[in-house]
Amino acid sequence: MIVLGIETSCDETAAAIVTDEGKVLSNVVLSQIESHKPYGGIVPEVAARAHMETTDAVVARAMDDAGLGFEQIDAVAATGGPGLIGGVIVGVMTAKAIALGQNIPFIAVNHLEGHALTARLTGKVEFPYLLLLVSGGHCQLLVVKGVGDYARLGTTIDDALGEAFDKSAKVLGLDYPGGPAIEKLAKNGDPARFPLPRPMKGRPGCDFSFSGLKAAVKRSVDALPPGPLKEKDVADMAASFQQAASECINDRSKNAIAMFKQSHPGGSHLVVAGGVAANKALRGGLEELASQTQMTLIAPPPALCTDNAAMIAWAGVEKIKNGDASGLDFAPRPRWPLDPDAPRAVGAGVKA
């Protein structure tokens, strides 16, 4: 079985071809970073317009890279949400048109499920496993029990970690996206110089909070002597922020591991996915935690952590095997929680 995947939920226009054996025949990602960089963040209208202008060409390139014609595709999957609704609509309508024209199944994929199942594309991880999903818009801990079967243990009550990275980088005068810039500078910084808070650390449960950490970065920077920030100031703040974030992630994940082991004694895998999962320092902290708790950490390659269409195509494969094709009347969704029965976190914004 060969599945075409399309991803347009945020600021990457992507298309990929994946087989049911887990072979990635093509994986094309067109970034919009340069378009959004002047604004210091993603502008929904700019993103939607870019998807409209480029999706057809990106799909055509994915087909060419795979050396296939549309008549050789067995199904087409597209991100149906959650995400910036303008972009989601573009991807869904493109996929529906292909499905209708070729008379093949259309599969609407939850973007978060794409991240959740990537470990099964790259590592063949068996259910159940514990998932830490960390990105620009999401920060959650979930038990992945099967395709379409998720139990959320914790979520952010305010900002996602990726957003905190971007906003803190902006305070430091760094370019968007902030995550890679902070990670690079943190290597030469002193993580103990700035006493930043560790929100939620030591508390019961698995919920996250990063707004206070982000605000503390701004207060600490404002307290420095007037004038341009020195390179050492920026490096030390980057290291201090990254260390605080890592400690928060590990603390919350440790609680989740205990809950996971209690409910699923045979489970032994901790999977980290999402754009922030590409951060090597955070991965290192999670590797130590996994070792301490007799878990095995699984982290997809960085290129499959950030938004991509290979994960959408693979989720499409998994859903077809599970008998979960979608109708052409599917409506794109700006919100689409993986666990619709999970209670809303106190103070939470619209994140899922």
pLDDT higher than threshold 90 for residue 352: no
Structure tokens at 22: 């887990």
Give the per-residue pLDDT at 262: 97
- 348: pLDDT confidence band, cut at 50, 70 and 90? very low
Contact (CB, 8 A) for 311 and 117: yes
DSSP β-ladder status, 12-19 and 75-81: unpaired
Indicate the Cα dihedral angle 17, 19, 24, 28, nearest 10°: 10
- Over residues 284-339, the pLDDT tens digits come to 999 999 999 999 999 999 999 999 999 999 999 999 999 999 999 999 999 999 99
pLDDT band at 350 (very low <50, low <70, confident <90, very high): very low
Please report, for the chain, the start and end positions of each structural domain, with discontinuous segments joined by +: 2-116+304-321, 127-300
The amino acid occupying position 144 is V
Q: Of 3, 313, 41, which Cα lies nearest the Cα of 176?
A: 41
Q: Are 190 and 239 in contact (CB under 8 A)?
A: yes
3-state secondary structure of 313: helix
**Are the folds of 2-116+304-321 and 127-300 the same?**
yes
Examine the pLDDT at 136 and tell me if it is beyond 90.
no
Contact (CB, 8 A) for 331 and 37: no
CA dist list (Å): 25 to 62, 113, 268, 313: 8, 21, 30, 11
Mean pLDDT score of the chain: 95
Residue 346 has pLDDT above 70, yes or no: no
If DSSP codes are grouped into helix, strand and coil, which group holds residue 24?
strand
C-alpha distances out from residue 72 to 23, 125, 145, Å:
15, 28, 32
Indicate whether 126 pLDDT > 60: yes
pLDDT at site 256: 98
**For residue 160, is pLDDT > 50?**
yes
- 166: tokens are 């971007």
Residues β-bridged to residue 146: 149
Pairing of strands 75-81, 106-110: parallel
Rounded to the nearest 10°, the torsion over CA 311, 312, 315, 321 is -130
User: What percent of the residues of the chain are helix, what percent strand, and what percent coil, each to the nearest 5?
Assistant: 45, 20, 35
pLDDT given for residue 39 in this prediction: 79
Specify the amino acid at residue 302: P
Instruction: Inform me whether the pLDDT recorded for 35 exceeds 90.
Output: no
What distance in Å separates the CA atoms of residue 164 and residue 169, rounded to the nearest whole number? 8
- Specify whether the CB–CB gap between 217 and 168 falls below 8 A: yes
What is the CATH class of 2-116+304-321? Answer: alpha beta
What is the average per-residue pLDDT within 14-31?
97
Quote the CA–CA distance of 299 and 272 in Å, as a whole number: 5
Whether residue 351 has pLDDT greater than 60? no
Q: CB atoms < 10 A from the CB of 101, how many? A: 10
State which amino acid sits at residue 134. Answer: V
Each residue of 198-237: pLDDT tens digit? Answer: 999 999 999 999 999 999 999 999 999 999 999 999 999 9
Alpha helices in 107-224 (DSSP H): 111-122, 161-171, 178-186, 211-222
Question: Is the whole-model pTM more than 0.85?
Answer: yes
Share of the chain above pLDDT 90, in %: 89
More confident residue, 37 or 122: 122
Q: Which fold has domain 127-300?
A: Nucleotidyltransferase; domain 5 (3.30.420)
